[in-house]
């Protein structure tokens, strides 16, 4: 029994090395295969606990940076921050635990074995649970296994069905590897067959990776992104308001003549927009002489209803366009169920005022005829939510403040997810952050240029806009979820058909008269 808990725990912890910044993308396959092998011969309860311990290893190592956000920048004491991080990891581990429990129940109920279990059922259930994790209680899609393949040939599947199609390919290969190990002793020929089927995914992905789903359009846009590097614990101090503004103004003025667009990160302006409006307009029109449009993050109060928004504003030639963040961070940007949880503010540093969510179907911001698809902070982790705006746009823009993560692996993981959005939509991604990692990403998801973390820096690059749509942009997650549902039903139908044939054969043997 011990191996069924210890092995999944170690496999889950090891799987975090397949993501950025480590990049051992092949490691995800044996780690998942170990978990699947444990599920082959477990009761439903044992399979649940094997999955849960795998999740503890996966999230305990992969998102341990949550402690930094809560303790270092949230102002929570060490004990409380440790308890909250542990509870979060234990909760997230329920998702792979649920996958294991469902696998055990369906295996017992329908008698699924061999390829029906490893090649059809388990990979489909794994990705369905990842998908549920992406929206349940606001969602946390971090560490979905498809992201581990952002640099591999398997990323070529992303424009077809998004990151969850890549996750399914990863889970299917892992299931075939588990099946190969399971049959190695008694049937080496079948074992080689499972390995061969799994290896086929790489050349197919390589072919897909070279397909041009979209096409270049004119004009090329010269973009400068400013990484101000304002420490999170100083960001909102009144004494830092003018030094922050002067830093962004000074860095931007130097590149105005060579830029069509200057981008500042999320909440780069440490004041509300009504206080910064005239100053920003003066800077855009007078200091940089209307030569470059200015896109900046700034909090905004709606004068009509008093609601507060985390917003981006595009200023050019006296005109202004807005984007309001719509997928807010619970307990960071708003307190869910405030009437029930308001008491917790006495013990933990929770937001006093809630940000309000913008429209879930925002319009692009326009730079002449070039559409910009905006996302703020970890909105870029939810690819399906970016689709309505991105279908009308030519360039993806993500403005973040990853200073909350400190010197952890989270900023690298976040950049990896942004790169996957570029691959899915076959469009360049401009990612500007406060402390890093600011980066230009091309439409293949490759990093063209990136800034050094925790340094004030300006990156300037010529960006090629693109038009057209990938298959994923047309169908969204509905395509892959329909396919996974079909596979689960197919596995059950195969098993029932086999049972009927066995029953009929037994009946003929028992009752047919001897000639």
Q: Are residues 325 and 365 in the same domain?
A: yes
Q: Are residues 86 and 219 in the same domain?
A: no
Residue 273 domain-assigned? Answer: yes
End-to-end CA distance of the chain: give it in Å, rounded.
Answer: 53
Q: How confident is the model at residue 504 (pLDDT cuts 50, 70, 90)?
A: low
Residue 174 domain-assigned? Answer: yes
As a whole number, mean pLDDT of residues 173-186 equals 86
Give me 56's structure tokens: 């503890």
Residue 350 has pLDDT above 80, yes or no: no
Q: Is position 241 annotated as part of the catalytic site? A: no
Q: What is the pTM of this model?
A: 0.91
Q: Are residues 319 and 403 in the same domain?
A: yes
197-246 per-position pLDDT tens digit: 889 999 999 999 999 999 999 999 999 999 999 988 888 888 888 899 99
Residue 89 domain-assigned? Answer: yes
Give the CATH number for residue 256.
3.60.110.10
Q: Are residues 163 and 268 in the same domain?
A: no
Q: Is position 130 annotated as part of the catalytic site? A: no
Domain holding 132, by residue range, is 2-211+476-504
Identified catalytic residue from 266, 333, 379, 424:
266
Domain count, the chain: 2
* DSSP letter, residue 341: H
Q: Are residues 494 and 404 in the same domain?
A: no
Residue 334 domain-assigned? Answer: yes
Q: Are residues 276 and 163 in the same domain?
A: no
Residue 189 domain-assigned? Answer: yes
Q: Are residues 185 and 329 in the same domain?
A: no
Q: Are residues 181 and 251 in the same domain?
A: no
> Which residues, including other chains, have CB under 8 Å from residue 495's CB and lie 6 or more apart?
110, 111, 112, 116
Identified catalytic residue from 31, 377, 385, 424:
377
Residue 341 has pLDDT above 80, yes or no: no
Q: Are residues 83 and 20 in the same domain?
A: yes
Angle between helices 122-133 and 477-511 (to 10 degrees): 150
Residue 196 domain-assigned? Answer: yes
Residue 513 domain-assigned? Answer: no
Angle between helices 78-92 and 44-62 (to 10 degrees): 140
Q: Are residues 468 and 481 in the same domain?
A: no
Q: Tell me the pairing of strands 447-450 and 370-376.
A: unpaired
Q: Is position 266 annotated as part of the catalytic site? A: yes
Q: What is the pLDDT of residue 342?
A: 56
Q: Are residues 180 and 287 in the same domain?
A: no
Q: What is the pLDDT of residue 510?
A: 43
Q: Are residues 6 and 31 in the same domain?
A: yes
Residue 275 domain-assigned? Answer: yes
């Amino acid at each position: 029994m011990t191996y069924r808990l210890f092995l999944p725990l170690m496999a889950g912890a090891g799987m975090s090395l397949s993501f950025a910044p480590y990049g051992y993308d092949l490691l995800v396959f044996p780690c998942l295969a170990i978990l699947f092998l444990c599920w082959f011969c477990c009761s439903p309860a044992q399979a649940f606990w094997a999955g849960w311990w795998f999740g503890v290893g996966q999230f305990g190592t992969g998102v341990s940076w949550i402690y930094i956000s809560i303790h270092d920048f949230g102002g929570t004491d060490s004990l409380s921050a440790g308890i909250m991080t542990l509870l979060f990891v234990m909760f997230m581990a329920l998702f792979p635990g649920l996958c294991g429990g469902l696998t055990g129940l369906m295996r017992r109920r329908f008698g699924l074995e061999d390829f029906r279990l490893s090649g059809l059922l388990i990979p489909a259930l794994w990705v369905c649970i990842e998908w549920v994790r992406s929206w349940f209680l606001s969602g946390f899609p971090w560490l979905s296994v498809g992201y581990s393949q952002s640099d591999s040939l398997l990323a070529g599947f992303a424009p077809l069905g998004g990151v969850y199609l890549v996750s399914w390919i990863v889970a299917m290969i892992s299931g075939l590897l588990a099946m190969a190990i399971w049959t190695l002793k008694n049937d080496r020929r079948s074992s080689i067959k499972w390995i061969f089927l799994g290896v086929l995914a790489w050349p197919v992905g390589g072919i897909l990776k070279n397909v041009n789903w979209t096409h270049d359009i004119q004009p090329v846009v010269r973009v400068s992104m400013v990484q101000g590097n304002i420490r999170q614990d100083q960001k909102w101090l009144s004494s830092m308001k003018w030094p922050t503004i002067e830093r962004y103004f000074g860095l931007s003025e130097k590149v105005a003549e060579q830029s069509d667009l200057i981008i500042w990160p999320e909440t780069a302006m440490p004041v509300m927009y009504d206080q910064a409006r005239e100053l920003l307009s003066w800077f855009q029109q007078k200091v940089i002489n209307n030569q470059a449009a200015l896109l900046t993050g700034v909090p905004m109060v709606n004068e009509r209803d008093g609601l507060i928004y985390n917003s981006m504003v595009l200023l050019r030639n006296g005109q202004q366009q807005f984007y309001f963040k719509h997928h807010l961070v619970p307990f960071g940007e708003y307190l869910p169920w405030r009437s029930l949880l308001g008491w917790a503010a006495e013990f933990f540093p929770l937001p006093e005022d809630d940000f309000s969510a913008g429209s879930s179907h925002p319009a692009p911001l326009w730079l002449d005829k070039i559409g910009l698809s905006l996302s703020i902070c970890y909105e870029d982790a939810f690819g399906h939510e970016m689709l309505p705006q991105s279908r009308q746009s030519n360039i993806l823009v993500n403005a973040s403040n990853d200073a909350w993560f400190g010197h952890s692996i989270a900023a690298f993981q976040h950049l990896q997810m942004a790169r996957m959005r570029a691959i899915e939509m076959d469009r360049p991604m401009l990612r500007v952050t406060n402390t890093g990692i600011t980066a230009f990403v091309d439409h293949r998801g490759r990093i063209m240029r990136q800034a050094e973390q925790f340094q004030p820096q300006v990156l300037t690059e010529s960006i090629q806009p693109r038009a057209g749509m990938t298959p994923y942009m047309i169908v969204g997650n509905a395509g892959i979820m329909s396919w996974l549902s079909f596979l689960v039903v197919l596995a059950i139908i195969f098993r029932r058909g086999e049972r009927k044939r066995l029953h009929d054969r037994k009946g003929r043997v028992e009752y047919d008269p001897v000639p």
